[in-house]
């Protein structure tokens, strides 16, 4: 294997791994797949450790656990090679103030992947909060009754969007598979599988609006950057 070609493939996969722009991801993966096929390189020849060590990072859920946030973290982790679990932390107060217990979702994965999941989670929460505020202004429904339906609808829509992208672009499998070290680290925690939590959804209209928002949501910051994707890949 020509080291120069192998290095170029690594760079293309790195672009695909780090980019939040679907157009750029797709272009990089297609080019990487082409080079791998032409040169007889298999997926296992790419060292996953180049994405950093296996690490953990907390997502602070506060004192109240909202099921949709846990669901969102799972959806994102599964699509960016990470795993998640829930835990509790204790924040010690200053000057004799009582300690406060709070809930977290812990992201487990390679360092770069964990950062992507954390950043994507923050983007999604910010976006769906804005969408929800817009919906509240348009509806006469009692928000406290339907808010969870709205948020769960958004996450389900986002999940279906990811699923459609995977089916449309099977070559994305090159960068969506978790590596064994991440799974081993998760198994070593010895976590017990809890029973499936039952979430009661009220408000079909709220769910439908949230679902549509999630299904159409993109992690892209600037759609105009799509046009620059091919130029960036060509320069790799």
- Is 154 within 8 Å of 106 (Cβ atoms)? no
pTM: 0.74
Residue 104 has pLDDT above 80, yes or no: yes
Q: What percent of the chain clears pLDDT 70, i.e. is strictly above it?
A: 70
How far is 74 from 142, CA to CA, in rounded Å? 28
- More confidently predicted of 178 and 171: 178
- More confidently predicted of 229 and 10: 10
Strands (E), 120-173: none
- More confidently predicted of 225 and 185: 185
Residue 199 has pLDDT above 60, yes or no: no
| pLDDT score for 224 | 37
Q: Which residues pair with 54 in a beta bridge?
A: 110
How far is 161 from 115, CA to CA, in rounded Å? 21
- More confidently predicted of 29 and 100: 100
Q: What is the pLDDT of residues 133-165, one digit of tens each?
A: 999 998 888 888 888 999 999 999 999 988 887
Q: Establish how many alpha carbons lie within 13 A of residue 218's alpha carbon, considering only the half-sphere containing its beta carbon.
A: 14
- 153: which 2 tokens? 């609808």
Q: Residues near 191 by Cβ (< 8 Å), separated by ≥ 6?
A: 85
Closest CA to 199 of 160, 161, 150: 150
Q: What is the DSSP letter of 105?
A: E
């Amino acid at each position: 294997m020509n080291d120069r070609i192998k290095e170029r493939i690594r760079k293309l996969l790195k672009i695909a791994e780090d980019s939040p722009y679907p157009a750029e991801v797709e272009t990089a993966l297609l080019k990487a797949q082409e080079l791998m096929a032409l040169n007889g390189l298999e997926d296992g020849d790419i060292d996953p450790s180049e994405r950093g060590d296996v690490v953990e990072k907390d997502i602070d859920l506060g004192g109240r656990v909202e099921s949709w946030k846990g669901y969102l973290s799972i959806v994102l982790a599964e699509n960016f090679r990470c795993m998640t679990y829930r835990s509790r932390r204790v924040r010690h107060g200053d000057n004799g103030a009582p300690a406060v217990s709070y809930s977290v979702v812990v992201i487990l994965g390679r360092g770069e992947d964990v950062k992507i999941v954390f950043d994507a989670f923050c983007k999604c929460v910010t976006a769906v909060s804005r969408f929800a505020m817009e919906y509240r202004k348009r509806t006469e429904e009692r928000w406290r009754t339907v808010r969870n339906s709205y948020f769960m609808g958004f996450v389900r829509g986002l999940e279906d969007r990811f699923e459609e992208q995977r089916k449309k672009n099977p070559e994305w499998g090159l960068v969506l598979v978790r590596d064994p070290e991440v799974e081993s680290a998760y198994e070593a925690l010895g976590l017990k599988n809890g029973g499936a939590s039952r979430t009661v959804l009220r408000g079909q209209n709220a769910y439908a609006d949230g679902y549509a928002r999630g299904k159409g949501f993109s992690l892209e910051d600037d759609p105009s950057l799509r046009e620059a994707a091919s130029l960036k890949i060509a320069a790799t």
